[in-house]
Amino acid sequence: MSEEPKQSPSDIKVTDRRSFTSGGERRDPDQPRLEAARVRPPNPSPVGEADGTPPPACDFLSFAHHLGRVALQQMVGMRDPATGEVVSSLDGAKETIEILRMLKLKTQGNLTPDEAKFLQQVLSELQLEFARRARSAKP
């Protein structure tokens, strides 16, 4: 079996056969217009390069806030679509709180004062809510 050589993207010819131009004017169908080749933008540079680009939208505060919301949602629970009852997971919330405590320990001394204060505040509020819900869940 013989294989045909594959064409590279630069060997491909694009012919516009639409009857109207992008401005809405009628185009002569016997004379197709060649479209300019689309140039791919360069790949985005990895985070941390010294080119002055801003960091991604997810920073430490966003991450800590997300984990806090996850823990709270686990404590409050979600409605199970199959049964219709609200299912909560105190064990899952406890694990998420432990992850936040681990982050606090591992990042000690490396956080800005605002980040450290926020993390402490989130942990305190979650631990109080967990204790309240754990007490009310016991018979």
Dump pLDDT digits (tens) for 12-52: 777 767 776 777 777 665 554 555 555 555 555 555 555 66
Residue 15 lies in a domain: no
Residue 28 lies in a domain: no
Residue 44 lies in a domain: no
Note if the pTM is more than 0.95: no
How many CA atoms lie less than 13 Å away from 47 in the CB half-sphere? 6
Residue 117 lies in a domain: yes
Q: How many domains does the chain have?
A: 1
Amino acid at 11: D
Residue keyed to tokens 């064409």:
7
Residue 86 main-chain phi, psi, to 5 deg: -85, 125
DSSP 11: G
Residue 73 lies in a domain: yes
Domain range for 110:
60-137
Q: Which two tokens stand for residue 99?
A: 């992850």
* pLDDT tens digits, 73-129: 999 888 888 888 888 889 999 999 999 999 999 999 999 999 999 999 999 999 999
